[in-house]
Structure 1
């Protein structure tokens, strides 16, 4: 992938030396490192709070840690240990249920449908919950988002049953175009919002949660208890600030172009694109071939033609089909629909050799 001249999905990996050069280029000659959360960390927190329109934001080294703290806060201020989560949600699938095993909370699933819960489903919960979580977008359902009106009514329903609203916004940055609202209006629906710096923004690592001053004070205390008050974090924080400057303004272009790429991919023989059109700059592609053969073909194609199509093909429950997640970022912007179709057909030709 690193040796390719063109990439359809993802970004070209860089070496440590190249990454250090990038950070050096954005760091002024007098920039000093942070110490236990001051300096650059404070700057990043203030930047995020401003973008999300909240009184405060708190930096965390990982999103898993940040979300545990947010859900714990909801349990303590409401006195309710149950949390309304989607079974495909990040806390259930990708965080090893840390909210339950480390924080002692338990989950309630308002719906199993491949989307966020509706107002009616939240109202119909048969037990009280401290927090209702909305993952924007719901990654493991195909990076899907609700309509803005549906999200508003669902947030209102959560408050009506006495729960806090938490946005799992690891990819909130790319959700704004589909929802048709700016980041502050989206975060304004919630009592707390989590965002990630290393996904679309391209930071080294790290996350933040945003909300009231009282929530931020609590988050800082529990960040320390979780071992997240690190001595210095300037490489990750500097890369996050760079991502906000460099990548955040380009995300609407990525989202728009993802629709062009998805429509072209859907024309490949046997292809299935979900959702169609994409809600963000990421979506899922199924092709009627075994995952192993697709991964081998992509690698051979990259080695011989220096073109990267899409990797990470996985076996699925759909018989005879494999699935890959497509991420439309800066390298994909110069691909036309014809480029996508022509490259896809040449790749698939290799499956029959």
Structure 2
């Protein structure tokens, strides 16, 4: 293993250099308390990281009555206290905050995700303009560097969404645009409309992507599939920001893997074969499987992948740091990529 510093990569074909590992702040201010959040953020900066990701809806589901925004507020306080806003490549998202209803929380306090998905705010022009203004106020800044449509909205005409986003860029409130949880055919349609009307096109797509491949037959708009990977390989002006790159850390723990809900999208013979290859390579490089998977992401060049990590504790963050120094040779990468049923 070599020195553990976070490198930079180009975001799409923008010329913008961003951290090769992005830090997700979803749980900051809720599951991760303020002191622990600040420790993680400071340590990330110490290692050279600057790409921080949040959303206006984080984390409404954590407590009854919440309207989200806790993560953005915490980041705003941290940037103000550190005086480092100009050093941060700041990403946030809009469109996925559900309409308020007491029914969003069940009797035991658990969120009702079915109701939430039916009542997402969506990507209407006025909705996004108001959402961004709220995000900017909570973040304590006059602009964000990257603004995503969080959940693709098929009920709003794309022209309305894209024209509104173009206005936000023109107003200086947003530097770059992105899309998340989106099908490949929709990405292509978005890009064609941007080309036709000379609107700024997305430069990043944030999708769920990890070493395991989704199980055969699974329909899932948020997980990168073969078609989307091929599309991103051919269209290098779109960078892939990969969320859940280590699937909540399940690679290190077979018992946790067996019971974790995220594995429902991956379990099967293909995953078993890839886990076996991962175990072999991890042993060879002296790293944990979680660390090796993160290193595998960092070795991707066609397309370039920026893994988005979301440690809940400072200890979880430190457990991932050695991945920055893991070197996988061509043979090991080929074995990892070729593994499968």
TM-score, length-normalised on structure 1?
0.30
The structure with higher relative contact order (CA 8 Å, sep 6+) is 1
Q: Which has the larger radius of gyration?
A: 1
TM-score, length-normalised on structure 2?
0.31
